[in-house]
Amino acid sequence: MARKKIIAGNWKMNMTPSEAVSLVETLKPLVVNDEVDVVFCVPAIDIIPAMEAAKGTNINIGAENMYFEEKGAYTGEISPLMLKDAGVQYVIIGHSERREYFAETDETVNKKVLKAFEHGLTPIICCGESLTQREQGITLDWIRQQIKIAFLNVTADQAKTAVIAYEPIWAIGTGKVATTEQAEEVCAAIRVCIGEIYDQATADAIRIQYGGSVSASSAPELFAQPNIDGGLVGGASLKPDFGKIVNYK
Ligand code: PGA
């Protein structure tokens, strides 16, 4: 069975709750496409108003992060129970900005992934190499290690439903999109790695996105690759251009 594309916006730390509502209103008519799962991952405080604004549409409101405990003395964190209760399905885990500025590691990513699955949430698990790593020729080794740790103790049935976002760090927010060949090469290697950890059926089922300066002009070629099942989109998800990305064909 063909994998359904999944195109997710990552709003990052943008949009106040009232701005979030107007952005959802603006994008609503532009992102209609039944062939694609459309997700807006928004700041925690925007989840409820955005969800309200997206009611009755094909837009799924997702989260940008969560903690790996259900509740307790973890000031400032968001729990999987809170996301679940708010009606969230998708949650980004281990974005490179969280790794760089908030000390997330492959190990905390794994804990969060396990916790997300425990509560029936679908993680969008981020991986990606730095420019130095790419220049050193260690991209594939690095990504394989990130994937192996992220999926430790995750069952095949869970892994089949997961989403992986391959986001080369040097392509994020820089306007420097990876070439189609570079993006497809790594996404294909990720699928092989999942096949090694689990089996071919799991590798065939898991959805792998590309992220990093995706735009209306680069999306069609990227999303046409056999191993690229959609995108994780930052900057362009805040603009009407996101409608063109969702309707990339
Ligand atoms: P960008 O961000 O599209 O602005 O490069 C992508 C991301 O960080 O998910």
169 lines ligand 1 (CB under 6 A): no
pLDDT digits (tens, 9 = 90+) for 153-189: 999 999 999 999 999 999 999 988 899 999 999 999 9
What is the distance in A from the centroid of ligand 1 to the CA of 73?
Answer: 32
> What ligand 1 atom has the least distance to the C-alpha of 97?
8
Give mean pLDDT, residues 135-149: 98
Helix, strand, coil percent values for the chain (each to nearest 5): 45, 15, 35
The answer on pLDDT for 27 being more than 90 is yes
What is the distance in A from the centroid of ligand 1 to the CA of 204?
Answer: 25
Q: Point out the residues that are catalytic.
A: 95, 167
Sorted by sequence, the CB contacts under 8 Å of residue 27 that are 6+ apart come out as 40, 59, 240, 242, 243
Give the closest residue to 113 by CA, choosing from 157, 153, 75, 141.
153
pLDDT digits (tens, 9 = 90+) for 35-61: 999 999 999 999 999 999 999 999 999
176 lines ligand 1 (CB under 6 A): no
6 lines ligand 1 (CB under 6 A): no
The answer on pLDDT for 69 being more than 90 is yes
The answer on pLDDT for 1 being more than 70 is no
